[in-house]
Amino acid sequence: MTAGMDTFRALLITRDETTKQQSVAITTLTPADLMPGDVDVRVEYSTVNYKDGLAITGKLPVVRRFPMIPGVDFAGTVTASTHAEWKPGDRVILNGWGVGEIHYGAYSEMARVSGDWLVPLPAGLTGSEAMAIGTAGYTAMLALIALEKHGVAPASGPVVVTGAAGGLGSMAVTLLSSRGYTVEAVTGRPHEAEYLRSLGAANIVDRGELNGQPKPLAKERWAGAIDTVGGNVLANVIASTQQFGTVAACGNAGGMELPTSVAPFILRGVTLAGIESVRAPKAARVEAWRRLAAELDRAKLAAMTTAIDFHAIPNAAHDIVAGKVRGRLVVTIS
Ligand code: NDP
């Protein structure tokens, strides 16, 4: 199976096995260089997520095979397929499945993947919008669905979002407020307060309020939470969750540890819901993307999105790991 391109450009991470130092460069590849898969896709748009930042900077061992083309999300058009579900011309999205970690990823004009990993681009969304949403938005929707499943409704009380000015956080604020929730946005960047209000946040909470040593229980403040940060912030959010509230744990931008106790769970019936987007089943993905296409305010999506080109990916990777990126990045790939 071959696609339409004889050669194409890709961002490649290589590693010196002696020094264990990795380097990143744009290179030219041929279809024969790609890893096995039953669908070829011309990649049109991608994005830079926190995880992509970790992969490119090497800050955490996201990449588990070298060399690697990073990039965990893409939108594009099928150019060749031996998979029953897909034919040339189909518009598709890919999020996760180890792409950009163990399988060649999105920062490449051509990708070869398993057709089982793809979902159709929902009607009403462009490829660029799909990548403005990306794994961040799709995960925020999985988190919102988890809160709903556990009975957190707009009438239950305010819902808090941590890491709110980041990609997943910005999407969570927007989606929750569009559903009628009162959203409180936790940020370490007070100068982004106006931006967060424009996405629908009713109240801004300084990250410093939640960074301290967690107590087992604190004053009940929130009916629900979408956390992207982990660490002390998540522990303090859990301690401040109302009786029978639910906290959706999505991320680790502030740390992997969780210094909490069983008190919120056995004395307040708090639920801690884990959100895992990478291997989420197809039905959950399709439902999340259907709801994103139906519910997401396009003007707010545009307001949180910055377009960058292929060459800007490495710098963006350093910026996102340093917590300097606001909202979402869209990369034009081809
Ligand atoms: P971003 O970098 O865009 O957002 C992270 C935000 O966290 C920052 O903008 C900042 O928000 C806040 N933050 C950064 N550093 C710290 C710190 N040291 N302490 C507390 N807060 C901090 O990343 P993404 O939105 O792409 O991803 C967010 C997290 O979600 C990551 O950990 C990522 O790995 C995870 N994730 C998990 C998925 C899953 O399947 N579970 C899927 C996608 C992402 P502010 O400046 O507003 O405080």
User: How large is the angle between the packed helices 167-178 and 127-149, nearest 10 degrees?
Assistant: 70
Q: Do 50 and 320 form a contact (C-beta atoms < 8 A)?
A: yes
The lowest-confidence range among 4-18, 27-41, 110-124, 240-254 is 4-18
Distance from the alpha carbon of residue 251 to the mean position of ligand 1, in angstroms: 6
Q: In whole angstroms, what separates CA 233 from the centre of its chain?
A: 19
Q: Rounded to whole angstroms, how far apart are CA atoms 38 and 206?
A: 48
Q: Provide the phi-psi class of 200: left if phi over 0, else alpha when psi is between -120 and 50, else beta.
A: left
- DSSP reduced 3-state for 9: strand
User: Over 50: is that where the pLDDT of 29 sits?
Assistant: yes
For ligand 1, atom 22, the nearest C-alpha belongs to: 254
Q: What's the confidence (pLDDT) of residue 216?
A: 95
User: Over 60: is that where the pLDDT of 1 sits?
Assistant: no
Q: What is the pLDDT of residues 210-267, one digit of tens each?
A: 999 999 999 999 999 999 999 999 999 999 999 999 999 999 999 999 999 999 999 9
User: Over 90: is that where the pLDDT of 3 sits?
Assistant: no
Which among 194, 200, 155 is positioned nearest to 176, based on CA atoms?
A: 200
Q: What's the confidence (pLDDT) of residue 2?
A: 47
Say what the pTM is: 0.96
For ligand 1, atom 18, the nearest C-alpha belongs to: 254
Distance from the alpha carbon of residue 136 to the mean position of ligand 1, in angstroms: 9
One-letter identity of residue 245? G
Q: 275: Cβ below 6 Å to ligand 1?
A: yes
For the CA of 185, the closest atom of ligand 1 is 47
Sign of the CA dihedral 90, 133, 138, 292?
Answer: negative
Q: What is the pLDDT of residues 129-156, one digit of tens each?
A: 999 999 999 999 999 999 999 999 999 9
Distance from the alpha carbon of residue 262 to the mean position of ligand 1, in angstroms: 25
Pocket test for ligand 1, best of 51, 168, 252, 278 (most atoms within 8 A of CB): 168
Q: What is the pLDDT of residues 262-273, one digit of tens each?
A: 999 999 999 999
| % of the chain residues with pLDDT over 90 | 98
User: Over 70: is that where the pLDDT of 304 sits?
Assistant: yes
Distance from the alpha carbon of residue 28 to the mean position of ligand 1, in angstroms: 32
> What distances in angstroms separate CA 271 from CA 67, 214, 230, one per listed residue?
40, 18, 15
Q: What's the confidence (pLDDT) of residue 4?
A: 66
